[in-house]
Amino acid sequence: MRSILAIAAILATLFLWANAPAPALPQGAVADRIVVEKSARRLTLYAHGKPLESYRISLGASPSGAKQREGDNKTPEGLYTIDAKNAASRFHKALHVSYPGPLDRARAATGGDIMIHGLPNGLGFLGRAQRLRDWTAGCIALTNREVDEVWRAVPAGTPIEIRP
Protein backbone atom coordinates (compact mmCIF):
# COMPACT_ATOMS: atom_id res chain seq x y z
CA MET A 1 0.00 0.00 0.00
CA ARG A 2 2.84 2.39 0.88
CA SER A 3 4.45 1.70 -2.51
CA ILE A 4 1.24 2.64 -4.31
CA LEU A 5 0.94 5.86 -2.30
CA ALA A 6 4.58 6.72 -2.95
CA ILE A 7 4.16 6.15 -6.69
CA ALA A 8 0.96 8.22 -6.70
CA ALA A 9 2.75 11.05 -4.87
CA ILE A 10 5.64 10.96 -7.35
CA LEU A 11 3.26 11.01 -10.32
CA ALA A 12 1.24 13.88 -8.82
CA THR A 13 4.43 15.87 -8.19
CA LEU A 14 5.63 15.22 -11.74
CA PHE A 15 2.26 16.30 -13.16
CA LEU A 16 2.25 19.51 -11.09
CA TRP A 17 5.83 20.34 -12.13
CA ALA A 18 5.12 19.60 -15.80
CA ASN A 19 2.10 21.92 -15.84
CA ALA A 20 3.04 24.67 -13.37
CA PRO A 21 2.41 28.11 -14.86
CA ALA A 22 5.45 30.10 -15.92
CA PRO A 23 5.75 33.84 -16.53
CA ALA A 24 3.92 34.70 -19.73
CA LEU A 25 5.00 36.80 -22.68
CA PRO A 26 3.15 40.14 -22.47
CA GLN A 27 -0.02 40.31 -24.61
CA GLY A 28 0.60 42.22 -27.82
CA ALA A 29 4.34 41.45 -27.93
CA VAL A 30 5.55 40.93 -31.50
CA ALA A 31 8.82 39.21 -32.36
CA ASP A 32 10.85 40.23 -35.38
CA ARG A 33 13.45 37.44 -35.09
CA ILE A 34 13.81 33.95 -33.62
CA VAL A 35 17.10 32.35 -32.60
CA VAL A 36 17.32 28.64 -31.80
CA GLU A 37 20.45 27.40 -30.04
CA LYS A 38 20.38 23.64 -30.45
CA SER A 39 23.21 22.87 -28.02
CA ALA A 40 21.55 24.97 -25.29
CA ARG A 41 18.06 23.61 -26.14
CA ARG A 42 16.80 27.21 -26.24
CA LEU A 43 14.51 29.24 -28.50
CA THR A 44 14.59 33.02 -28.00
CA LEU A 45 12.19 35.57 -29.45
CA TYR A 46 13.65 39.00 -30.22
CA ALA A 47 12.14 42.42 -30.94
CA HIS A 48 14.34 45.30 -32.08
CA GLY A 49 17.49 43.38 -31.11
CA LYS A 50 16.38 42.71 -27.55
CA PRO A 51 15.21 39.35 -26.18
CA LEU A 52 11.48 39.15 -25.44
CA GLU A 53 11.37 35.62 -24.03
CA SER A 54 13.35 32.38 -24.05
CA TYR A 55 11.98 28.86 -23.96
CA ARG A 56 13.51 25.45 -23.30
CA ILE A 57 12.92 23.15 -26.27
CA SER A 58 13.12 19.58 -27.44
CA LEU A 59 14.64 18.79 -30.81
CA GLY A 60 15.00 15.94 -33.25
CA ALA A 61 15.87 12.62 -31.65
CA SER A 62 19.41 12.87 -33.11
CA PRO A 63 20.06 16.62 -32.78
CA SER A 64 23.84 16.93 -33.26
CA GLY A 65 24.86 18.25 -36.66
CA ALA A 66 22.85 19.75 -39.48
CA LYS A 67 19.99 17.92 -41.15
CA GLN A 68 21.24 15.93 -44.16
CA ARG A 69 18.18 13.98 -45.30
CA GLU A 70 14.63 13.11 -44.40
CA GLY A 71 14.47 10.56 -41.61
CA ASP A 72 17.82 11.44 -39.98
CA ASN A 73 15.98 12.95 -36.95
CA LYS A 74 18.20 16.04 -37.04
CA THR A 75 17.05 19.62 -36.68
CA PRO A 76 18.42 21.75 -39.54
CA GLU A 77 20.87 24.61 -39.03
CA GLY A 78 20.88 27.89 -40.91
CA LEU A 79 18.80 30.95 -41.75
CA TYR A 80 15.14 30.42 -42.61
CA THR A 81 11.78 32.13 -42.17
CA ILE A 82 8.49 31.21 -40.59
CA ASP A 83 6.54 30.89 -43.82
CA ALA A 84 3.19 29.51 -42.61
CA LYS A 85 1.12 28.72 -39.52
CA ASN A 86 -1.10 25.67 -39.10
CA ALA A 87 -3.74 25.69 -36.37
CA ALA A 88 -5.05 22.27 -37.51
CA SER A 89 -1.76 20.41 -37.16
CA ARG A 90 -1.57 16.94 -35.59
CA PHE A 91 0.48 18.76 -32.95
CA HIS A 92 -0.84 21.66 -30.86
CA LYS A 93 -0.33 24.43 -33.43
CA ALA A 94 2.61 24.52 -35.81
CA LEU A 95 4.73 27.29 -37.30
CA HIS A 96 6.37 26.09 -40.52
CA VAL A 97 10.09 26.73 -41.05
CA SER A 98 11.13 27.37 -44.68
CA TYR A 99 13.45 24.34 -44.76
CA PRO A 100 15.00 23.21 -47.07
CA GLY A 101 16.32 26.51 -48.33
CA PRO A 102 18.50 27.12 -51.40
CA LEU A 103 21.75 26.38 -49.52
CA ASP A 104 20.30 23.12 -48.19
CA ARG A 105 19.31 22.09 -51.70
CA ALA A 106 22.80 22.95 -52.98
CA ARG A 107 24.25 20.59 -50.33
CA ALA A 108 21.64 17.99 -51.33
CA ALA A 109 20.19 18.25 -47.83
CA THR A 110 16.55 17.36 -47.91
CA GLY A 111 13.89 16.54 -45.43
CA GLY A 112 10.29 16.79 -44.54
CA ASP A 113 8.43 19.65 -42.98
CA ILE A 114 10.23 21.33 -40.12
CA MET A 115 8.00 23.08 -37.61
CA ILE A 116 7.96 24.79 -34.25
CA HIS A 117 5.09 22.99 -32.54
CA GLY A 118 3.50 21.91 -29.29
CA LEU A 119 2.80 18.40 -28.11
CA PRO A 120 0.91 15.81 -30.15
CA ASN A 121 -2.82 16.44 -29.89
CA GLY A 122 -4.18 14.78 -26.76
CA LEU A 123 -0.82 14.76 -24.95
CA GLY A 124 -0.70 18.37 -23.77
CA PHE A 125 -0.83 17.19 -20.15
CA LEU A 126 2.84 16.18 -20.50
CA GLY A 127 3.76 19.87 -20.36
CA ARG A 128 7.41 20.41 -19.43
CA ALA A 129 8.00 16.66 -19.14
CA GLN A 130 8.35 16.59 -22.95
CA ARG A 131 11.73 18.29 -22.48
CA LEU A 132 13.22 15.30 -20.69
CA ARG A 133 14.39 13.93 -24.04
CA ASP A 134 14.66 14.97 -27.68
CA TRP A 135 11.77 13.26 -29.42
CA THR A 136 10.79 14.99 -32.66
CA ALA A 137 11.68 13.96 -36.21
CA GLY A 138 13.68 17.20 -36.58
CA CYS A 139 11.20 19.80 -35.40
CA ILE A 140 11.45 22.23 -32.48
CA ALA A 141 9.00 21.36 -29.69
CA LEU A 142 7.57 23.55 -26.94
CA THR A 143 4.83 23.01 -24.38
CA ASN A 144 1.34 23.86 -25.63
CA ARG A 145 1.20 27.01 -23.50
CA GLU A 146 4.54 28.14 -24.88
CA VAL A 147 3.61 27.48 -28.51
CA ASP A 148 0.43 29.50 -27.92
CA GLU A 149 2.63 32.46 -26.87
CA VAL A 150 4.98 32.03 -29.83
CA TRP A 151 1.99 31.69 -32.17
CA ARG A 152 0.61 35.06 -30.99
CA ALA A 153 3.97 36.85 -31.12
CA VAL A 154 5.42 35.51 -34.38
CA PRO A 155 3.92 36.61 -37.69
CA ALA A 156 4.54 34.72 -40.92
CA GLY A 157 7.69 36.06 -42.55
CA THR A 158 9.67 36.24 -39.29
CA PRO A 159 13.33 35.22 -39.77
CA ILE A 160 14.58 32.24 -37.76
CA GLU A 161 18.23 31.37 -37.22
CA ILE A 162 18.94 27.81 -36.09
CA ARG A 163 22.43 27.53 -34.61
CA PRO A 164 24.38 24.38 -33.66
The CATH number for 122's domain is 2.40.440.10
Asked, for residue 139, whether it belongs to a domain, the answer is yes
Asked, for residue 20, whether it belongs to a domain, the answer is no
Whole-number pLDDT of residue 100? 80
Asked, for residue 72, whether it belongs to a domain, the answer is yes
Boundaries of domain holding 46? 31-163
Can you list the positions of beta strands (E) in the chain? 33-37, 42-47, 50-56, 78-86, 94-97, 114-117, 140-141, 159-163
In this model, does residue 102 exceed pLDDT 80? Answer: no
**Mean pLDDT over residues 41-47, rounded?**
97
Nearest to 154 by CA among 99, 51, 78, 85: 85
Residue 113: which residues within 8 A CB-CB, separation 6 or more? 96
Asked, for residue 146, whether it belongs to a domain, the answer is yes
Residue 137: which residues within 8 A CB-CB, separation 6 or more? 60, 61, 71, 73, 112
Whether 47 contacts 32, CB under 8 Å: yes
Asked, for residue 109, whether it belongs to a domain, the answer is yes
Asked, for residue 11, whether it belongs to a domain, the answer is no
Percent of the chain at pLDDT above 70?
84
